[in-house]
A and B are shown apart, each in its own frame.
Chain A
Amino acid sequence: MDEDHRNDEGSPENHRTPKKRRLSGFISESEIREEFSHHQAGVARINNGSFGSCPRSVLAAQNKWQLRFLQQPDDFFYNTLQKAILESRTLIKDLIHADDVNDVSLVDNATTAAAIILQRIGRRFVQGKFQKNDTVIMFDSAFPAVKKSIQAYVIPAGGSLVEVRLPFPVHSNEEIITEFKKGLERGKANGGRVRLAILDHITSMPSIVLPVRELIKICREQGVDQVFVDGAHAIGSLHIDVNEIGADFYVSNLYKWFFSPPSVAFLHCKNSSAIFDLHHPVVSHEYGNGLPIESAWVGARDYSPQLVVPSILNFVNRFEGGIEGIMKRNHEEVVKMGSMLAESWATNLGSPPEMCASMIMVGLPSRLGVTSDEDALRLRSYLRDYHGIEVPIYYQALRNGESNSKDKDGYITGYVRISHQVYNSAEDYHKLKSAINHLLDDGKICKMLPKE
């Protein structure tokens, strides 16, 4: 035990770096709890999808990097930083089965990657390389920041947007593919070309796994110039092979499901030449040296989240099956818990199990009366403030011409998006189950809940 006790004669027990596993033993339950002991006690934290989570051993590694910088920042800048970023990029390249580390850049988050890619699209329109009837296509469930980026960079430059309705609740990949094909037709209706398709690998709200490989194949068949896969949730949730997926651009956040501190994401470009045509919007002296190099220096700031990838790998390899094992167990548990909730509430899942990874949508009883985004937010705050449950709620208006979900009391318009990560236990979900059931027993609807 003592050989792992780093220093710290005066430091309280629960701040020791957790013991590494004894050889041939995997991380134990109590070690996992210790790694996440900084999470607020008493909160059923079933929203790993929004902000992710970071174990103490990775945070400790991050602190070490931060301290090294503070000790002698010039030396760090000249002799350490670039090498360490390259090491992280190389490890990620291997994880995602990319060919060349030059194709892998590290940025803050998927939001930044979207700005990079859409700025380039905007430039093309301004330069006259794209014409006025050309379009960008995406599902209406695209992340709000991506939608705003299109408003900021594409529309003012003369491009148009085609939004494809995401079928939800969804029953099969075919439903999605059908809608997408219709959308592509609309995109080409005015004689323009579809210059960019933006596809979520795992949509945010409502959350489902899209059949990106098939969708990309269709894009190629239908003459779409380029495809950008926003895989914000992907790494640590499902298997990523960027060659096999075949997108022109692929981004994923490491701090959601891959245990990094906030915040770092990777952006992969299929064609190596693209890295000289994409630019980080914050221009430094590295401008023109390729996106990976530009992104590795955007002025003086804390780059430590980009440096801890080796420590993350150490962490996940303490689990049986490594990251693959974690993904598999997260998926099984979230499906199990989702089904448990749907059964208890007599509602439905938003997608079949094979169309989800470590998050799943579960219908809320119609009696709760989720009739607007405000209702959803109110219910979410109520669960946080009065029940210590953190879970995002999704409101879906009834849709004409489609089969809307129903339970015995009416239409289901509200869903919870539950996540499962290694620190979760069944208790978290039972807490949610009971809280909702109590509301129903008390005859409460959303509009009756306390206002913020």
Chain B
Amino acid sequence: MASNNHHHNHKNDDNHLNGDSSVSHVPKKPKLGSFITDSEIQSEFAHHDPAVARINNGSFGCCPASVIAAQQKWQMKNLRQPDHFYFNELKKGILHSRTVIKEIINADHVDEISIVDNATTAAAIVLQQTAWAFQEGKFQKGDAVVMLHYAYGSVKKSMEAYVTRAGGKVIEVQLPFPVNSNEEIISEFRRALERGKTDGSRVRLAVIDHVTSMPSVVIPVRDLVKICREEGVDQVFVDAAHAIGCIDVDVKEIGADFYTTNLHKWFFCPPSVAVLYSRKSPSCSELHHPVVSHEYGNGLATESAWIGTRDYSAQLVVPEVLEFVSRFEGGIEGIKKRNHEAVVEMGRMLATAWGTHLGSPPDMCASMVMVGLPTCLGISSDSDALNLRAHLRDDFGVEVPIYYRPSKDGEIGLVTGYARISHQVYNKADDYYKFRDAINQLVRNKFTCALLSN
């Protein structure tokens, strides 16, 4: 995979410890005035397994070779002289990344921007603060925290660990899926807020996904935040794990108290780095990173920038990522637009080929869309979905997550399995044809998931 033609482009050879196992094919930068070409894009992602139709950017994201090279540069800087790096370079580098992010998401102050490992960590930080408020008696036992039924698994567990244990009541918003309009979501949300306010208790926190994970749908967060303010919800935390690089993120306009998004999913950063935005306000609570270092008490951003000795290089390459996206026509906006158009086109192609449907209208998806799978596959449980996914991976070279949607009362013959397809700059139509053909073959061969569960 490492192309010998490219080794003369190694800018910083002291990065390359072992040529055959590092990403050594750093592609040439384009001539001034021209955009990145198709073959340059393929080169940037040449480390991806070529035998796999990788249509699951949503789970683990991707990182181009030039950003990986930049990361290795930072890693070597540290290893070269770690004391000097710690005293003279690290803080500056993180501040630079935070400043860049602040601009991208339209925050007012760089103080509002903290960098953490991932949205999972951000959730721990926000919910820890909620738990403290219960413990200190600021919130009463029985006060509610509202979250979406489709909230990410780790967020649900965080609720258990931090909220339920501290005496809070967790209320889940039942979301319809397939979904047809924002109104369906908004009315369920209102209903959940009402449940939260029974018996004179208050809704202290609403945790709202910007783009749900499974099943994946774009939530009308602006509307929901407005409703929260109208209904007297204390705080709103938007879990936007997928958002940056996928949909528009303007934290002021969205208006949440806390907003987190992973940069390693759709924003080309290496694993892993996320931003936690915390709006400055007179009543804002003190957030703390749960791993306490000597920086404790100096503000979340400073605490998060030092949580003990570890590799912070993923947090330092944000400026280089900006360089990468600027090579594309329209920058990140162009990438988002083209990803959306392509994933909708491919989703429709698949739905047509299989005689199924999309899980949401195109305007409720960004760079991922749910596509119904043929009912004859017999997906009737979560483990069926997982088994089918493994079967597609191992025997067809297709990587795509499958969602099991249980039938509700009165429903017959409905689609119970959906594939969540992603489109990122490295994808090609062939990836989706491969998937289409794999499913068609399974259908032809009268395959059912029951065959896998032995």
Residues in A lying within 8 Å of B, measured CB to CB? 6-12, 15-17, 38-40, 43, 45, 47, 50-54, 56, 59-60, 63-64, 67, 69-75, 77-78, 108-112, 114-115, 118-119, 126, 144-145, 148-149, 151-153, 157, 253, 255, 261-263, 279, 281-288, 298-302, 305, 381, 384, 390, 392
Contact = CB atoms under 8 A, between A and B. Distances in A.
A302 B315 CA distance: 12
Nearest to B13: A12
A400 B140 CA distance: 50
Interface residues of B, number: 76
Nearest to A54: B79
Given A59-B79, A282-B290, A381 B4 contact: no
Given A112-B307, A263-B309, A70 B63 contact: yes
A285 B161 CA distance: 11
Given A8-B19, A54-B79, A63-B17, 13 more contacts: A40-B84, A56-B17, A73-B60, A74-B56, A109-B310, A148-B294, A283-B158, A283-B162, A287-B154, A298-B120, A299-B119, A302-B314, A390-B84
Which of A11, A60, A151, A263 neighbours the largest number of chain B CB atoms within 10 Å of its CB? A11
Interface stretch (B20-28, B200-208, B230-238, B344-352): B20-28
Contact of A145 (B86, B290, B292): B292
Contacts of A301: 117-118, 271-272
Contacts of A111: 291-293, 307-309
B291 A285 contact: no
B272 A67 contact: no
A108 B308 contact: yes
A126 B135 contact: yes
B212 to A, nearest CB: 15
Contacts of A118: 292
B18 A10 contact: no
Interface of B: 2, 4, 7-8, 13-14, 16-23, 47-49, 52, 54, 56, 59-63, 68, 76, 78-84, 86-87, 117-121, 123-124, 128, 135, 153-154, 156-158, 160-162, 262, 264, 270-272, 288, 290-294, 296-297, 307-311, 314, 390, 393, 399, 401
15 contacts: A8-B19, A10-B19, A64-B21, A145-B292, A145-B293, A145-B308, A148-B296, A149-B292, A152-B288, A262-B310, A262-B311, A281-B128, A283-B158, A299-B154, A392-B83
B59 A115 contact: no
A69 B264 CA distance: 13
A108 to B, nearest CB: 5
Contact of B311 (A10, A56, A157, A305): A305
Kindly list the 4 A-B residue pairs having the minimum CB-CB distance in the complex, ordered from nearest: A111-B308, A299-B120, A281-B290, A7-B20
A302 B119 contact: no
B224 to A, nearest CB: 24
A60 B21 contact: yes
A44 B271 CA distance: 33
Contacts of A286: 157
Contact of B308 (A7, A47, A73, A112): A112
A131 to B, nearest CB: 17
B80 A300 contact: no
B32 to A, nearest CB: 27
Nearest to A8: B19
Given A75-B393, A110-B308, A301-B272, A38 B80 contact: yes
Given A10-B4, A72-B399, A285 B153 contact: yes
A284 B19 contact: no
Given A75-B399, A109-B309, A299-B154, A281 B291 contact: yes
Contact of A71 (B2, B49, B154): B49
Nearest to A391: B83
Given A51-B309, A299-B154, A302-B311, A77 B14 contact: no
Contacts of A305: 311
B17 A153 contact: no
Contacts of A67: 21-23, 47
A73 B59 contact: yes
Contacts of B121: 282, 298-299
Nearest to B20: A7
B286 to A, nearest CB: 11
Contact of A262 (B14, B78, B290): B78
A115 to B, nearest CB: 5
A10 B120 contact: no
Contacts of B13: 11-12, 15
Given A115-B291, A284-B120, A299-B272, A279 B161 contact: yes
A115 B309 contact: no
B68 A70 contact: yes
A72 B272 CA distance: 16
Contacts of A114: 292
A174 to B, nearest CB: 31
B60 A287 contact: no
Contacts of A47: 83
A74 B117 contact: no
Which of A12, A73, A151 neighbours the largest number of chain B CB atoms within 10 Å of its CB? A73
Which of A75, A298, A299 neighbours the largest number of chain B CB atoms within 10 Å of its CB? A299
Nearest to A143: B294
Given A262-B310, A300-B264, A15 B47 contact: no
A75 B14 CA distance: 31
Contacts of A285: 153-154, 156-157
Given A263-B309, A298-B120, A299-B121, A74 B59 contact: yes
Contacts of B2: 7
B342 to A, nearest CB: 20
Given A10-B4, A47-B83, A73-B60, A263 B262 contact: no
B120 A282 contact: yes
Given A7-B2, A50-B83, A255 B309 contact: yes
Given A73-B60, A115-B290, A15 B311 contact: no
Contacts of A255: 309
B22 A384 contact: no
Contact of A74 (B60, B86, B307, B308): B60
A438 B160 CA distance: 62
A300 B59 CA distance: 9
A261 to B, nearest CB: 7
A307 to B, nearest CB: 13
A105 to B, nearest CB: 14
Nearest to B288: A152
A298 B289 CA distance: 14
A95 to B, nearest CB: 20
Contact of B296 (A151, A262, A300, A392): A151
Contacts of A15: 13-14, 16-19
